[in-house]
Amino acid sequence: MKIIHSLTLLTLGVISSCVLALPHRVIAAEPTKTSSVETSSKLTEENVSQAMKAIAEAEKKEDIDTLLMFLVPYGVSEVTVESQGNSITRNLEGVEAHREMLEKTFKRVKNREILNERQTIRFSPDGQLAIVTRATIEKLTTEDGKQFISAGTDTFRFAWIDNQPKVISTKSQGWLEERPASAK
């Protein structure tokens, strides 16, 4: 099964003194390539989908610079994680806060396997804003060998800025539980 990093539960380890942080696709993508034929001045299904594919590839490679490339300088994220009856929320503002979180996250998660993923894209009538909603279920292994199951919903808000899709905000809500030793 293909292993992909996801937006789900990006900052559990950063949110508190917990041992685990889980990366998410909050942030960025490689610039959308525009051909001489395509002169779009708004978000489209094609250019938003390309951005999301580039985000997935950069996360798979743990390429933080590429992930941050399309986050606007004022980009914000809200991440809420529920685990063992507790709920923790963390707010991030700006590129450097996201960089720090991603560095810690990639260091802590050794392996990630997508078990199920679904994505929808909606657009504003003028094509200047898009909302991508992704629901994901994953199996995770931390650097210390612990295994977890996570489920979450991530919402990306893209805007058409400098003739390309850029992430202006994200919101992630997720659930995380350690797998029992008998299930591993």
State the alpha helices, DSSP H only, in the chain: 12-15, 45-60, 64-68, 94-108
- Residue 169: the pLDDT is 96
CATH number at residue 28: 3.10.450.50
pLDDT tens for each residue of 76-122? 999 999 998 899 999 999 999 999 989 988 888 889 899 999 999 99
Pair of tokens at residue 97: 């806060």
Please compute the mean of the pLDDT values over residues 161-184 and round it to a whole number: 88
Q: Is residue 164 part of a domain?
A: yes
Q: Is residue 139 part of a domain?
A: yes
Q: Is residue 64 part of a domain?
A: yes
- Residue 53: the pLDDT is 92
- Residue 40: the pLDDT is 60
Task: Supply the range of the domain harboring residue 157.
Answer: 12-183
Distance CA 69, CA 66 (A): 5
Q: Is residue 114 part of a domain?
A: yes
Q: Is residue 85 part of a domain?
A: yes
Pair of tokens at residue 122: 């909606």
Q: Under a CB-based contact definition with an 8 Å cutoff, are residues 177 and 84 in contact? A: yes
pLDDT tens for each residue of 5-62? 333 333 333 232 232 333 333 333 333 443 333 446 789 999 999 999 998 889 889 9
- Between 160 and 15, the more confident residue is 160
Q: For the chain, how many structural domains are there in total?
A: 1
Residue 1: pLDDT over 60: no
Q: Under a CB-based contact definition with an 8 Å cutoff, are residues 142 and 20 in contact? A: yes
- In angstroms, the first-to-last Cα distance of the chain is 16
Q: Is residue 95 part of a domain?
A: yes
Q: Is residue 6 part of a domain?
A: no
pLDDT tens for each residue of 57-74? 898 899 999 999 989 999
Q: Is residue 38 part of a domain?
A: yes
pTM of the full structure: 0.75
Distance CA 177, CA 132 (A): 25
Long-range contacts of 122-125 (CB under 8 A, 24+ apart): 123/43, 123/45
